């Protein structure tokens, strides 16, 4: 009897320890799987980050190469202030970025963080050697900046002259801030590392990288060979950096020759497991102590068995009564089991209700892949019933036919999942009516108490809309970045055009009476004015052009252009105007709208080379009551339709992008439709394009209705040409751009005025305090430190009656920010613009709120 008690005690002790060990083993696997999943997410996030960094760096590097070549080469920009300011302004658009230009000999020419660029020799740098060997671009390993002393990673492009020879290198340097900040937010504890490798085993950037590790190569380490094993994956290996065992997840970038990886120390991943192990040891120890005490009591009771036998006769009556009590307990237990069975059936109904109400496609499989259960969402997607798929191999169900590659991949995934591996990938499945969708598909095994896989759970989530939304977001971000860059370039180009036009106007007045010389000067002025038109189109695409919105009757405006349109399209094309009465007026810049309409007409003409019908129509589109973003009066739609060749899908998606054109080189700038789109959006409207190959194109501009009926206002006349120059006066000119200031100063002096030049707002206040008074102040808006509006606010408090002119290159001023009595002058301005503004401010009428624009390019 004692032996039986000891055997039973040992059995219970071993069962307890075994079950706890199985649970701990499962906990160990779960923590490692969680760490692997988190490392894959970090690797994917690092891949997306490095993709955006290299795309932005490539775009900026290409702009630097273009700019240097435009200036005549590296030697033409060496230690010059204007290129330094331009590249520094370009570098400030991305935090932590600096631009570095060297010549072919490795001698610095420009550095955005220092001016002039310090001397140095970079012939020992790998990126210079790579470009000298013929490479056009180079992604550099981590290095210590020779001037900043910081750890950086670089991207560079070769600058070549017109003959294709290497003229220099444009390098983009970035701090690895991202690789230090992201691991701090991870829930995996200390030691998370993000890395970017090149394909030769060099480290481009890494979390926690020390200066003494710069230049090391890990091509012979087993971890790097594992990174080269495929496009992506997860593995465990001893770290080449700290020697500890780590979980590595990696992704090889599809567009750039780099591999990104994220690693987690196994010791950090198993912290929750060690805590569970500690708790389990104490729990098992306490239970074993209790079992030992119970065993001792049982042994003691067995020794008293003989004594109890003597008392057996006395206990018979007690046993009979206990039997009756036991029968009652059995009956009670039977009733409890019935209630438990009912509860189990209710729980099964709940499970099936939840199982069938889930949006994901869920299937339960045997380890060999046979379908056991499938939820309603998956059946509805395929237009099937359970009888159609239950008992079939999963890869033979209709969702995976007829794609043989998808079937093979699924069979391999089932084999891996049956072996205990968690499998996840993206796949395409076929639904009812042959509808194809992209799903996030996963397979996970369910193990019994012995660790054997007894069930597979297959789950799919429809991510088609998510992928489409991500693609649209990526395109929108690219267009936004391009718009910002375009607006900045156009703004700076306006300043250059102003210097050119000012000096050409002064030069033309001083030329001798020689028709040939005057013809040369006029040609240069016309070319500069064409550049002004180009900058206006660039600003229109960037939605930064300076508009003069006014209430316009579109019917009168379009009807007044009938003759111009018919002359523009020429013979062979019939024009139809559909201009109904009673349309509401719109609020828009009439001059810009005329240019937009003319652009659309010329595009339609080019699309109808064999002749056709051009239709220009107006329609009133009432506002949708459920759309609170539209004005109550709705929109007036101006539509230009042709029956020409039409556009394919790729062309229709790209036609509003700047510099995109289907015309031959030299016959189109690619800015026409982008300017029209920018005008519509900046005016609060929209642009829609309907086109089909062989069926023609229909382009509609929707402009918000003004709500009230008012006659069209006349366009700005050239009255500035007739304005009489005011008498000579003292002018304080505030301009931070040295060349622009010198040009404007020369023009004003040529007009007979006395000019004092200030390079910023604080300098202007000092001059006013020491050399005042002045008759007039002309100030730029965009200046470092104190802007033009800040200066005007200070001047109004000190000199309330002083006439002021605010000059600006584009519409970067806040709405309603210009105080009353301040005139507005748009860059680039010409001597007639200055005469008109000075006449308005200093003439008999006194100060007024005036905005002066350059002439309509068609009138020049």
Domains and CATH numbers, the chain: 25-296 (3.30.450.20), 358-462 (3.30.450.20), 550-704 (3.30.565.10), 719-859 (3.40.50.2300)
pLDDT at residue number 813: 59
Spell out where 316-475 has E strands.
361-365, 371-374, 423-430, 436-447, 453-462
- pLDDT value at position 477? 66
Predicted confidence (pLDDT) per residue in 557-577, tens digit:
888 888 878 877 877 889 999
**CA 588 to each of CA 305, 327, 342, 682: distance values in angstroms, whole numbers, following the listed order:** 109, 96, 74, 10
Average pLDDT over residues 651-668: 59
At 428 the three-state DSSP class reads: strand
Task: Characterize the bridge pairing of strands 730-734 and 776-780.
Answer: parallel
272-278, Cβ contacts within 8 angstroms, sequence gap of 24 or more: 272/27, 272/31, 273/24, 273/27, 273/28, 273/31, 276/24, 276/27, 277/24
Confidence category of residue 187, pLDDT binned at 50, 70, 90: low
* Strand runs labelled E in 136-213: 137-139, 143-144, 151-160, 166-174, 193-198, 203-206
Q: What is the pLDDT of residue 625?
A: 42
Assign residue 250 a region: left if phi > 0, alpha if psi is -120 to 50, beta otherwise? beta
Backbone phi, psi, residue 578, to 5° = -115, 90
Contact between 529 and 860 under an 8 Å Cβ cutoff? The reply is yes
Q: 501 or 535: which carries more pLDDT confidence?
A: 501
β-pairing verdict for 573-578 and 612-621:
parallel
Q: What is the mean pLDDT of residues 201-229?
A: 82
**Taking 50 as the threshold, does the pLDDT of residue 730 lie above it?**
yes
Q: What is the mean pLDDT of residues 160-170?
A: 88
When pLDDT is averaged across residues 157-182 and rounded to a whole number, the result is: 85
The string of pLDDT tens digits covering residues 261-276 is 888 888 777 778 778 8
For residue 416, name the pLDDT band (cuts at 50, 70, 90): very high
Three-state DSSP at 290 gives helix
Mean pLDDT over 614-637 rounds to 70
Pairing label, strands 635-642, 696-704: antiparallel
End-to-end CA gap in the chain: 119
pLDDT over 50 (residue 721): no
d(CA 776, CA 726): 12
Please report the DSSP string for 470-487 in residue order. HHHHHHHHHHHHHHHHHH
Check residue 629 and give its pLDDT.
43
Q: Which of 95-99, 538-542, 755-759 has the largest mean confidence?
A: 755-759
pLDDT value for 550: 79
Instruction: Tokens for 59, please give them.
Output: 């775009």
- E strand or H helix that includes residue 58: helix 2-70
Distance of alpha carbon 776 from the chain centroid: 46
Averaged pLDDT of the chain: 79
**Token pair 């779960």 is at which residue?**
30
pLDDT over 90 percentage in the chain:
7
Does the pLDDT value for residue 615 go beyond 90?
Answer: yes
Q: For residues 319 and 759, what is the distance between their CA atoms, to the nearest angstrom?
A: 113
At residue 633, the pLDDT reads 60
Residue 586 β-bridge partners: 552, 705
The region that residue 696 occupies, defined by phi over 0 for left and psi between -120 and 50 for alpha, beta otherwise, is left
List, in sequence order, every residue forming a beta bridge with 839; answer none if it has no partner: none
Q: What is the average pLDDT across 516-540? A: 69
Please tell me the predicted confidence (pLDDT) of residue 734. Answer: 92
Of 703, 714, 710, 483, give the one whose Cα is nearest residue 597: 703
Residue 484 scores a pLDDT above 70: no
Say which range, 366-370, 512-516, 704-708, 712-716, has the weakest mean pLDDT.
712-716
Confidence at 661, pLDDT banded by 50, 70, 90: low
Take residue 49 and report the two structure tokens written for it.
Answer: 């980050």
- Mean pLDDT throughout 81-88? 88
Q: What is the pLDDT of residue 810?
A: 52
> Is residue 354 pLDDT above 80, yes or no?
no
User: Of 378, 386, 458, which is closest to residue 423 (Cα–Cα)?
Assistant: 458
Upper half-sphere CA count for residue 4 (Cβ side, 13 Å): 3
- Size (the chain), residues: 860
What kind and span of H or E run contains 235?
Answer: strand 232-238
Asked if 217 and 142 touch (Cβ cutoff 8 Å), the reply is no
Q: How far is Cα 803 from Cα 842, in angstroms, rounded to an integer?
A: 8
- Mean pLDDT across the stretch 728-734? 90
pLDDT at 413 over 70: yes
State yes or no: pLDDT of 466 exceeds 60.
yes
Residue 447 scores a pLDDT above 50: yes
Among the ranges given (75-84, 152-161, 443-452, 714-723), the one the predictor scored with the smallest mean pLDDT: 714-723
Q: Is 627 helix (H, G, I), strand (E, B) or coil?
A: coil
Task: Check: CB of residue 805 under 8 Å from CB of residue 778.
Answer: yes
143 touches 151 (CB < 8 A):
yes
Structure tokens at 136: 């056009």
Residue 433 has pLDDT above 80, yes or no: no
Query: Lowest-confidence range among 15-29, 341-355, 378-392, 645-659?
Result: 645-659
- What's 142's DSSP letter? P
Asked which of 167-176, 488-497, 607-616 is least confident by mean pLDDT, the reply is 488-497
Residues paired with residue 429 on neighbouring β-strands, in sequence order: 437
Query: 658: which 2 tokens?
Result: 């700047």
What average pLDDT score do residues 689-701 get? 87
pLDDT digits over 663-681, tens only? 555 445 445 577 787 778 8
Residue 102 has a pLDDT of 92
Rg value, the chain, Cα: 40
Question: How many angstroms separate the CA atoms of 818 and 252, rounded?
Answer: 54
Strand 436-447 and strand 203-206: the pairing is unpaired
Residue 280's pLDDT is what?
82
- The DSSP secondary-structure symbol of 856 reads P
User: What is the mean pLDDT of the segment spanning 582-611?
Assistant: 83
Confidence of residue 219 (pLDDT cuts 50, 70, 90): confident
Contact 363, 384 (CB under 8 A): no
């Amino acid at each position: 009897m004692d032996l039986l008690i000891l055997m039973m005690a040992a059995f219970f002790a071993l069962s307890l320890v075994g079950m706890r060990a199985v649970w701990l083993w499962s906990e160990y696997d779960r923590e490692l799987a969680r760490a692997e999943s988190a490392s894959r997410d970090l690797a994917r996030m690092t891949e997306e980050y490095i993709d955006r960094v290299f795309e932005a760096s490539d775009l900026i590097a290409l702009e630097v190469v273009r700019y240097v070549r435009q200036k005549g080469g590296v030697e033409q920009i060496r230690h010059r202030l204007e290129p330094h300011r331009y590249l520094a302004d370009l570098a400030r658009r991305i935090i932590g970025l600096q631009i570095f230009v060297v010549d072919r000999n490795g001698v610095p020419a420009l550095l955005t963080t220092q001016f002039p660029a310090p001397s140095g020799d970079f012939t020992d740098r790998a990126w210079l050697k790579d470009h000298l060997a013929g490479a056009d671009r180079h992604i550099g390993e981590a290095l210590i900046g020779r001037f900043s002393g910081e750890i950086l990673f670089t991207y560079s492009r070769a600058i070549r002259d017109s003959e294709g020879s290497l003229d220099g290198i444009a390098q983009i340097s970035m701090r690895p801030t991202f690789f230090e900040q992201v691991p701090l937010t991870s829930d995996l504890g200390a030691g998370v590392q993000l890395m970017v490798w090149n394909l030769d085993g060099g480290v481009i950037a890494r979390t926690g990288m020390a200066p003494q590790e710069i230049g090391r190569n890990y091509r012979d380490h087993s971890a790097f060979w594992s990174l080269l094993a495929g496009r992506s994956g997860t593995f465990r290996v001893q770290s080449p950096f700290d020697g500890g065992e780590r979980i590595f997840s990696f992704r090889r970038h599809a567009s750039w020759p780099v591999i990104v990886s994220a690693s987690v120390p196994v010791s950090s991943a198993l912290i929750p497991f060690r805590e569970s192990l500690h708790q389990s040891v104490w729990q098992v120890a306490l239970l074993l102590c209790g079992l030992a005490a119970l065993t001792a009591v049982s042994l003691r009771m067995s020794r008293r068995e003989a004594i109890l036998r003597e008392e057996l006769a006395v206990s018979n009556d007690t046993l009979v009564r206990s039997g009756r009590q036991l029968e009652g307990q059995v009956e009670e237990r039977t009733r409890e089991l019935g209630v438990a069975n009912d509860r189990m059936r209710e729980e099964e109904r709940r499970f099936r209700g939840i199982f069938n109400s889930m949006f994901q496609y869920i299937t339960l499989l045997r380890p060999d892949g046979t379908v056991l259960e499938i939820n309603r969402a998956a059946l509805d997607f395929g237009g099937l019933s359970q009888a159609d798929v239950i008992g079939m191999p999963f890869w033979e169900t209709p969702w995976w036919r007829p794609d043989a590659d998808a079937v093979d991949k699924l069979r391999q995934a089932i084999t891996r999942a049956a072996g205990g591996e968690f499998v996840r990938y993206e796949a395409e499945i076929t639904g009812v009516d042959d509808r194809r969708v992209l799903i996030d598909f996963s397979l996970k095994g369910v193990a019994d108490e012995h660790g054997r896989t007894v069930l597979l759970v297959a789950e799919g989530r429809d991510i088609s809309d998510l992928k489409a939304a991500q693609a649209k977001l990526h395109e929108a971000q690219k267009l936004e970045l391009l718009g910002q860059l375009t607006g900045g370039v156009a703004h700076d180009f306006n300043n250059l055009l102003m210097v050119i036009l000012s000096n050409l106007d002064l030069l033309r007045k001083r030329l001798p009476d020689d028709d040939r010389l005057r013809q040369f000067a006029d040609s240069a002025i016309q070319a500069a004015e064409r550049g002004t038109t180009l900058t206006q189109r660039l600003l229109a695409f960037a939605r930064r052009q300076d508009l003069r919105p006014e209430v316009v009757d579109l019917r009168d405006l379009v009807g007044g252009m009938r003759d111009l349109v018919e002359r523009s399209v020429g013979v062979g094309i019939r024009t139809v105007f559909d201009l109904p009465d009673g349309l509401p007026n719109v609020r828009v810049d009439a001059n810009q709208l005329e240019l937009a309409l003319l652009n659309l007409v010329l595009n339609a003409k080019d699309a109808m080379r064999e002749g056709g019908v051009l239709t220009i129509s107006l329609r009133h589109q009432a506002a949708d009551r459920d759309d609170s973003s539209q004005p109550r009066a709705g929109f007036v739609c101006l539509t230009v339709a042709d029956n020409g060749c039409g556009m394919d899908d790729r062309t229709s998606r790209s036609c509003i992008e700047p510099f995109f054109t289907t015309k031959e080189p030299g016959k189109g700038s690619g800015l026409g439709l982008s300017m029209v789109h920018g005008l519509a959006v900046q005016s609060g409207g929209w642009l829609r394009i309907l086109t089909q190959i062989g069926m023609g194109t229909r382009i509609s501009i929707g402009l918000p209705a003004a709500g009230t009926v008012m006659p069209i206002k006349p366009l700005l006349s050239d009255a500035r040409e007739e304005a009489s120059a005011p008498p000579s006066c003292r002018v304080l000119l505030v301009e931070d751009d040295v060349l622009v200031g010198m040009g404007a100063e020369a023009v004003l002096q040529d007009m007979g005025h006395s000019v004092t030049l200030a390079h910023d707002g604080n300098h202007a206040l000092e001059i006013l305090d020491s050399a005042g008074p002045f008759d007039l102040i002309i100030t730029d808006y965009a200046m470092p430190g104190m802007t033009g509006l800040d200066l005007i606010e200070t001047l109004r408090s000190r000199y309330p009656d002083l006439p002021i002119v605010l000059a600006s290159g584009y519409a970067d001023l806040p709405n309603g920010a210009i105080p009353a009595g301040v005139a507005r002058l748009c860059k680039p301005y010409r001597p007639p613009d200055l005469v008109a503004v000075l006449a308005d401010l200093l003439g008999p009428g006194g100060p007024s709120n005036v905005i002066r624009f350059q002439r309509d390019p068609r009138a020049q």
